Structure 1
Amino acid sequence: MGGKYRITGNRYPRMRKPRRRGRLVFLAVASVAVLGVIGWGTWQLIDVFTGGGTASAAGGGDCPAKASPAASPSATSAARPLPEPGQITVNVLNATPRGGLAKQTADELKKRGFRIGQVGNATKEFDKKIKGAGLLLGPASSLNTSLPVLGTQLAGAERRTDTRKGTDVDLIIGTGFTALTQQAAATEALTALTAPQPSATAPKKGC
């Protein structure tokens, strides 16, 4: 064009629209924020449904680990009450060369509430062959019932089971026998044996 409208110089005006960089930056920041919120929410859901198991397994946190009831040996005793001395029939047999021990021991056990069955000398299988204080012998069912109760009356006595029928148990006096456990100590041991076991410590609130 000529005249006053003529274009001079070597640069030409740009005809395209300027880039909107501000809008792109805003969209990028918004996308990052949305992804962060989604990730945080997912983690919270996982923590709720798992009960925070990761921290517990690693030993962290303030919540104590719960004890397994199956691991406690006292749980069996609590689930199966032990018999009273009056429910146990004891055969007192002397396996030593000393005379009169079977009757003396049987009389003392009777005073302590046990029922007395046979009193006499031990059979050839055990005569002079029990080296310790004594041997407590009974059926398999007595191993965790009658024998522990009778064992409170003669500390250090060995416990065995056999294939007999019935519920009677034997106290076979050994060559190391001197006397039954003192009654006060035997009563204390029996009380501890039959006492209810304390329950596991309750977890803290929120655990």
Structure 2
Amino acid sequence: MQRRLIRMGYTRLRAYLVFGVLAIAALVVVVVAVARDSQGDPAASGCPAGMTLVNVTLPREPAQVKLRVLNGTRRAGLADNVSAEFQDRGFKVQPSKDSKTKFAKVALIQYGPKSVGAAQWIRAYFLGEAEPQYNAARTTDVIDIIVGEQFRSLATFTEVNQSMAQIGDPTAPPGSCAAPAGAGV
């Protein structure tokens, strides 16, 4: 009986030692992982100094995209109509207004580092015929669309998908580099 108690004591002691060593090893791994975490550090993303991090991620749903439509033509109410179409498709649309400058082509899409991927998606609604205009100094995530004289209508859902296949995935504009997926730009 006493031998059995002694043997049970050594077994428990051994189990406690193994558990303790595993717990300490896990703690060390967690501390090292937290200390070496570089998700918020732009240099850790491989982006050279002086370059702007941009969000090239395509939005999952229209509600993640903020738009402002400007009328670059002499046609009254055009920006309101285009805004209503985007709003009906689920986009967050700010009040439309007239552009100070007139635009002869289909559309001009103005965007900044926070909306590179979203701007690519919006180009697909114009069948890739909208002219993209990136501005690294732009701090907002709102995309401005100046609708031009050659605009006729927005693409259908199927046409948008086909246009995205032709346009391709968003890429970082010159002088910038893509932020890691999930990084807030």
Show the counterpart of 1:165.
139
Taking the aligned partners of 1:183 and 1:102, their CA distance within structure 2 comes to 20
Residues 108/164 of structure 1: CA separation in 2 closer, same or farther (3 Å cut): same
Q: Deviations over 1:94-142 (max 9, x none)?
A: 01000111111111111212110131111x2xx21x2210000011332
1:151, 1:157 within 8 Å by CA — same for their partners in 2?
Answer: yes
Taking the aligned partners of 1:95 and 1:166, their CA distance within structure 2 comes to 21
Show the counterpart of 1:185.
159
Show the counterpart of 1:146.
118
Show the counterpart of 2:176.
none
1:137, 1:170 within 8 Å by CA — same for their partners in 2?
Answer: yes
The AA in structure 1 aligned to 2:121 is V
Q: Deviations over 1:152-190 (max 9, x none)?
A: 111200001222222000111011111112333124445
Report the CA distance between 1:91 and its aligned residue: 0.1
Show the counterpart of 2:66.
89
The structure in which a higher percent of residues are strand is 2
Show the counterpart of 1:121.
98
Q: Aligned with 2:76: secondary structure? A: coil
Say how many residue pairs are matched: 111
Q: Deviations over 1:37-74 (max 9, x none)?
A: xxxxxxxxxxxxxxxxxxxxxxxxxxxxxxxxxxxxxx
1:90, 1:114 within 8 Å by CA — same for their partners in 2?
Answer: yes
Q: Aligned with 2:141: secondary structure? A: coil
Q: Scaled by the length of structure 1, what TM-score is found? A: 0.48
Taking the aligned partners of 2:125 and 2:158, their CA distance within structure 1 comes to 10
Taking the aligned partners of 1:151 and 1:135, their CA distance within structure 2 comes to 9
Query: Which runs of no fewer than 5 residues in structure 1 stay unpaired?
Result: 1-78, 195-207
1:85, 1:149 within 8 Å by CA — same for their partners in 2?
Answer: no
Query: Which runs of no fewer than 5 residues in structure 2 stay unpaired?
Result: 1-54, 170-185
The AA in structure 2 aligned to 1:185 is E
- One of 135, 145, 151 as aligned partner of 2:108: 135
Q: Aligned with 2:68: secondary structure? A: strand
Superposition RMSD in Å: 2.3
Taking the aligned partners of 2:90 and 2:161, their CA distance within structure 1 comes to 11
1:95, 1:121 within 8 Å by CA — same for their partners in 2?
Answer: yes
1:95, 1:175 within 8 Å by CA — same for their partners in 2?
Answer: yes
Greater relative CO (CA pairs within 8 A, separation 6+): 2
The AA in structure 2 aligned to 1:97 is R
- Identity, in percent, stands at 26
